[in-house]
Amino acid sequence: MSGLTELPYSDLNIDVGGRRLVGQTTVREQLAKILSSGRLSHAYLFAGPAGVGKKALALAFAEAVNGLDNLSDLQGRAFSKKSSWSNHPDIRIFLPLPGSDPDFGELSARSELLSEDPYEVVDFNNRPSLTSETASGNRNAFYSISYFRNEIRPSAYLKPNEGYRNIIIISEVERFRTESSNAFLKLLEEPPPNLMFILTTENANALLPTITSRCQIIRCAPLSKDEIQSGLMQRDGVNEQDASFLSRISGGNYSMTRFYDVERLQTSRNEVLQYLRASYSMDAAKIVSYSMSWNKELNTEGQISILNLLEVFIRDLAVYRDTQTADFLTNVDQLTVISKFCESLQNARLDAMQELIDPYRAMLRQSVSPRLVFTVLANRMAYLMRGKDTPLPESETWRHAPAYDFH
């Protein structure tokens, strides 16, 4: 089964992941062309933002290559009797794990969740514990050299048992430590026969250029609001009103949005409005209170959802100030609040306020202290709401923080 044209799909146009995947039409069409051509690379790199379905795409592609009729409809050409990638002997997935000598029981437990739902949240940053829904301490997960030597590399030398390729999926490949990254590069340069790597990353720029140059890169775009709303309604049974609201504050992240608590989000939205008021009045006590509360009670994606809510509200302010109509507002139920904000903030630099959000979202993903992020953001917002320039350059925003006592 080592030939390049043995896949029995040359006359088919398979909808890769059509039974479960959300959006990513361009990528799925690209994968369908690869399958129909039979010309398989030894390494693919799915690159794109968090929550857009990279692991789901990788799993669907792996299944199709090895003939599983599960996430995709293979139109009668399935050649595997296995029900899912999770029980196929030639498909393995690896996730970054905490510690230099990780507990592989955690890998098994999280892989099992993925077998039930390809969009399940299984990374340790957003879900440090599978047993506690309230756990908020992020756990640093990575690929240690012992992990690579003892688990990943030996798997690469297994021969395909019943599929066309021995497929190894490595999620968040940017989390290889330097030593393990160099060791992986050697394996990527001289792979055993019939081995296929499918890698995923949120940050292709963090990878060694020698790794990316040896992969066929599949770029996954952010999901649109319409795609997320459709996915929430059709795949997750969310009602139209809630799906519409969730899609607008999703930030393009379907994986996390489907687990949002709408009631909690409404509470968070009220907190965001109070935070914005405290920023304008430069009420240090309230700013610190919200910053510490969000730091303590929310995980990274919960904190990012706060920024998403803030971004959507600022966008509503800009839309209403320009149009004086509620027709295009996301927070249409907050029309009175929005109107009063616009009256009070006639000189606010709303475009600049929106531009602030994305860099601070990136900081949270990079494990910058949320207390500092929300405090510094409030200070900069205070000036922009008055139509003024911020007093400190972007390179020195940390200088806002010493004015506040976090203890």
pLDDT computed for residue 1 by the predictor? 38
pLDDT computed for residue 402 by the predictor? 54
Q: pLDDT tens digits, residue range 197-245?
A: 999 999 898 898 999 999 999 999 999 989 999 999 999 999 998 898 8
**Section 184-193 average pLDDT:** 93
In the chain the domains, ranked by start, together with CATH numbers, are 25-221 (3.40.50.300), 261-403 (no CATH)
% of the chain surpassing 90 pLDDT: 63
Q: Say which range, 111-125, 279-293, 297-311, has the weakest mean pLDDT.
A: 297-311
Check if the beta carbon of residue 320 is closer than 8 Å to that of residue 338: yes
Q: Give the span between the Cα atoms of 163 and 85, in whole angstroms.
A: 11
Pairing of strands 91-94, 166-170: parallel
* pLDDT value at 4 more than 60: no
Q: Give the span between the Cα atoms of 199 and 208, in whole angstroms.
A: 13
Q: Give the span between the Cα atoms of 290 and 278, in whole angstroms.
A: 10
Q: pLDDT tens digits, residue range 44-54?
A: 999 999 899 99
* pLDDT value at 406 more than 70: no
Check if the beta carbon of residue 21 is closer than 8 Å to that of residue 28: yes
DSSP secondary structure, 314-345, as one string: HHHHHHHHHH--STT-SSGGGHHHHHHHHHHT
Average pLDDT of the chain to the nearest whole number = 88
Q: Which residues contact 183 (CB under 8 A, 6 or more apart)?
A: 145, 148, 149, 153
* pLDDT value at 179 more than 50: yes
The model carries a pTM of 0.77
pLDDT computed for residue 135 by the predictor? 53
Q: Give the span between the Cα atoms of 155 and 93, in whole angstroms.
A: 10
As a whole number of Å, the CA-based R_g of the chain is 23
Q: pLDDT tens digits, residue range 45-86?
A: 999 998 999 999 999 999 999 999 999 999 999 999 999 999
% of the chain surpassing 70 pLDDT: 93
Q: Give the span between the Cα atoms of 349 and 376, in whole angstroms.
A: 17
pLDDT computed for residue 390 by the predictor? 80
Check if the beta carbon of residue 195 is closer than 8 Å to that of residue 42: yes
